[in-house]
Structures are given as structure tokens and as C-alpha cells.
Amino acid sequence: MDVVDRLTRAAEDGDAALATHLLGAGAEVDVVGTAGRTALDLAVHAGHARIVRVLLAAGANPRQAVGGYRELTPMCLAAMYGHTAVMGPSSASAPPTGAQGRMSYVPLVSAATAVEQGHLETVDLLLRHGAYINGTMKGKTPLEWAAAFGQVRMVRQLLARVRPQQRRR
């Protein structure tokens, strides 16, 4: 197994010590492994916040294309899976909260609609980091997406965050 595959395996497995060692030994942080994914992609997907911090500190690109079809960004992937702990490190500099990735996904919409009732903590984190609550994805706000999916708890949470003058009619 070459160093890139060892790094991606360490990232996927949550082995921060091995990932740190490999990076210190010269492993390139954003190289795609034989499985077609980078270490950051696999660490975010698995929810390994510590590995994400290690990789970002080593210069991993927080806006790289990730996901099975390379259609997302790390922020969108973390939002989709509700990996709130991963999102803090991946948004450390300037939090990318608007439309992103090949499919122009909006992390707030992904977090609000990815599962039956959405990822409530992740939505709160995104809003604290400056996500625009009335931003749209495919013409709908996060509130409209949550309502369309029948996510009552998420609709209530988003309504509580929208000031009356911001509500769309």
C-alpha cells in the first residue's frame, strides 16, 4: 500500500497519529487515493473531527470536490451527515455557507433536510457562522425545503430564527 492510500485509510479509520506521521514524512495532503477519494473527503464522511483538523493544518483544501461523485464540498458533506463537530474545523477561516460544489448545494439546506427531522445542531452552527437563513437553493429557502419535506421540528426551529421582517410571503 502506498503512502497516499495509507493516509486515506488512516483518515477514514480516524487514526490521527498515523495521519500526522504520514504527513510529517511528506505525504501530499490532497492527493486522491486509489479509491477515488482524498483523506479530507473520507475523514469528513466518517465524522472524524480530529483528523479533519490535522488535514486542514497540513494544508488540505477546504473547498475541494468530495463525495462519491465529487459533487460536494467538505462543508456540504459534513452538513448532509450532521457532523457538527467536523464543521467547526472545516469552517475555521471563512465559513463557506453559500451555494457550493458542482451541484451548487447549500449546506444549510442539506443540514435542514438530509434526514427525517434534519440535523438541528448543525443548522444552529451554520446559522451562527453566518449562513443566510433566506438564501435559496433551486429557488427555495431552507424553511421552504423543510416544509416541503414535512419536517415539523426543523420548520419550527427555522421559524424561530427568522425575524418577522425577513419572512417571505
pTM: 0.85
Spell out the SS3 assignment of the chain.
CCHHHHHHHHHHHCCHHHHHHHHHCCCCCCCCCCCCCCHHHHHHHHCCHHHHHHHHHCCCCCCCCECCCCCECHHHHHHHHCCHHHHHHHCCCCCCCCCECCCCECHHHHHHHCCCCCCHHHHHHHHHCCCCCCCCECCECHHHHHHHCCCHHHHHHHHHHCCHHHCCC
- Using the predicted structure, report yes or no on whether residue 82 has a pLDDT greater than 90: yes
Domain that holds residue 41: 1-61
The answer on 98 and 30 residing in a single domain is: no
Question: Does residue 73 sit within a domain?
Answer: no
Q: How many domains does the chain have?
A: 2
If asked whether residues 37 and 88 sit together in one domain, one would say no
All three cell numbers of 41: 473527503
Is residue 29 in some structural domain?
yes
Regarding whether 157 and 98 lie in a shared domain, the answer is yes
Scan for cell 488535514, then name that residue: 55
Claim to verify: residue 34 and residue 91 sit in the same structural domain:
no
Same domain, 46 and 89: no
96 and 162 belong to one structural domain: yes
Cα atoms in the Cβ-side hemisphere of radius 13 Å centred on 12:
12
Distance CA 4, CA 89 (A): 22
Is 115 part of a structural domain of the chain?
yes
Q: Which pLDDT tens digit goes with each residue over 14-67?
A: 999 999 999 999 999 999 999 899 999 999 999 999 999 999 999 999 889 898
- Is 67 part of any domain? no
CATH of the domain at 128: 1.25.40.20
Q: Which of 99, 32, 98 has the alpha carbon at shortest distance from 70?
A: 32
Dump pLDDT digits (tens) for 93-149: 445 667 777 777 889 999 999 888 899 999 998 988 888 898 888 999 999 999 999
Is 145 a member of any domain? yes
Residue 91 and residue 158 in one domain: yes
